[in-house]
Every structure is written in structure tokens, then in C-alpha cells.
């Protein structure tokens, strides 16, 4: 069986400098799956952190509508992974199909919920309710 090597995504580039490979395993049988992931090196982790830091000012300047659209796009991409994704996760985790589909739907729906909060601006009107020690429940 040939093993497909999966690489790290850093600032829009693929990187596989790490010599250590993390092998994907079928959780039911213990047999190796045809995927191996390069463990990131310290330099790759540093590069990812630096890229995130460099991207922050641009993301910070986006509008709430743009941020909400970004969260919606992530949810849509997750949903679009389809049945191959579900089958692969089932093999790696030994979790049943209904659980995997439910977890994916929960995650997508949470992203959409957060997108709605960002659109509405709920997080901008934070209130601090001060304690009222003399008050009884």
C-alpha cells in the first residue's frame, strides 16, 4: 500500500519539513490507513505563528459582515466535505456514522450561530450587572 503524505498548511503554502510521520490508523482493526501526516518542526510552528500574527491586522480591519461571511464559508466548506469525510473519520475514530454526522452538523451550526451574533453585533453591547448584596433571590 502506498502512503499519501499530508503536509502542513502555513500562510497558504504547503510544508513538510518534519521527518516524523504520524500515521493514520483504522481504529477498528489497528491497520494503517494510507495517510501519514508530517509532524511540524519548531521552525514550522514558528512560521505559522508569525503568519497568524502578520494576518491579524488585516483580519482586525474587516467588517462584522465580512467576519460573519468568513464563518459561514467555513461552515459551508465543512458541510461540503461530504460522505468521504464521514467515512474517513469513522475509520480513524471508530465512532458511528450518526455521531460523526451529528458532530459535523453541530460544529457547522455553531459557526453559523457565531456568524449571526457577529452580524447582529450582540457582542458589542456587553453589560456588566453589578452585584446587589442586599437583594435576595
Instruction: Assess whether 13 and 39 both reside in one domain.
Output: yes
**Structural domain that includes position 31:** 1-61
Below-70 pLDDT ranges, the chain: 1-3
Instruction: Assess whether 54 and 3 both reside in one domain.
Output: yes
Instruction: Assess whether 42 and 83 both reside in one domain.
Output: no
Instruction: Kindly report the backbone phi and psi dihedral angles of residue 53, in degrees, each rounded to the nearest multiple of 5, phi listed first.
Output: -65, -40
Structural domain includes residue 45:
yes
Structural domain includes residue 93:
yes
Q: Which residues pair with 13 in a beta bridge?
A: 10
Residue 124 pLDDT: 83
Structural domain includes residue 127:
no
90-99 burial code (b ≥16 CB/10 A, e <16): bbbeeeeeee
Collapse the DSSP code of 133 into the 3-class scheme (helix H, G, I; strand E, B; otherwise coil) and give the result. Answer: coil
Number of structural domains found in the chain? 2
Which residue, chain included where needed, has cell 502578520?
54
Structural domain includes residue 32:
yes
Structural domain includes residue 47:
yes
Asked if 94 and 28 count as a contact pair (C-beta separation under 8 A), the reply is yes
Structural domain includes residue 133:
no
Instruction: Assess whether 9 and 32 both reside in one domain.
Output: yes
Share of the chain above pLDDT 70, in %: 98
Instruction: Assess whether 89 and 50 both reside in one domain.
Output: no
Structural domain includes residue 94:
yes
Q: For strands 4-6 and 32-38, give the pairing.
A: parallel
Asked if 68 and 119 count as a contact pair (C-beta separation under 8 A), the reply is yes
Instruction: Assess whether 46 and 3 both reside in one domain.
Output: yes
Structural domain includes residue 135:
no
Residue 67 pLDDT: 97
Which pTM does this prediction carry?
0.80
Residue 5 pLDDT: 78
Residue 3 pLDDT: 65
Which residue, chain included where needed, has cell 504547503?
14
Instruction: Assess whether 8 and 54 both reside in one domain.
Output: yes
Instruction: Assess whether 109 and 66 both reside in one domain.
Output: yes
Instruction: Assess whether 4 and 57 both reside in one domain.
Output: yes
Amino acid at each position: 500500500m502506498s502512503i499519501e503524505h499530508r503536509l502542513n498548511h502555513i500562510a497558504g503554502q504547503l510544508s513538510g519539513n518534519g521527518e516524523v510521520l504520524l500515521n493514520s490508523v483504522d481504529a477498528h482493526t489497528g491497520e494503517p490507513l494510507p495517510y501519514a501526516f508530517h509532524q511540524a518542526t519548531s521552525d514550522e510552528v514558528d512560521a505559522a505563528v508569525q503568519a497568524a500574527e502578520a494576518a491579524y491586522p488585516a483580519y482586525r480591519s474587516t467588517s462584522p459582515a465580512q467576519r460573519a461571511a468568513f464563518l459561514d464559508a467555513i461552515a459551508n466548506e465543512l458541510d461540503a466535505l461530504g460522505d468521504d469525510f464521514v467515512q474517513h473519520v469513522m475509520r480513524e475514530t471508530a465512532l458511528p456514522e450518526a455521531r460523526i454526522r451529528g458532530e459535523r452538523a453541530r460544529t457547522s451550526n455553531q459557526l453559523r450561530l457565531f456568524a449571526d451574533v457577529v452580524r447582529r453585533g450582540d457582542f458589542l453591547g456587553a453589560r456588566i450587572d453589578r452585584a446587589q448584596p442586599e437583594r435576595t433571590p
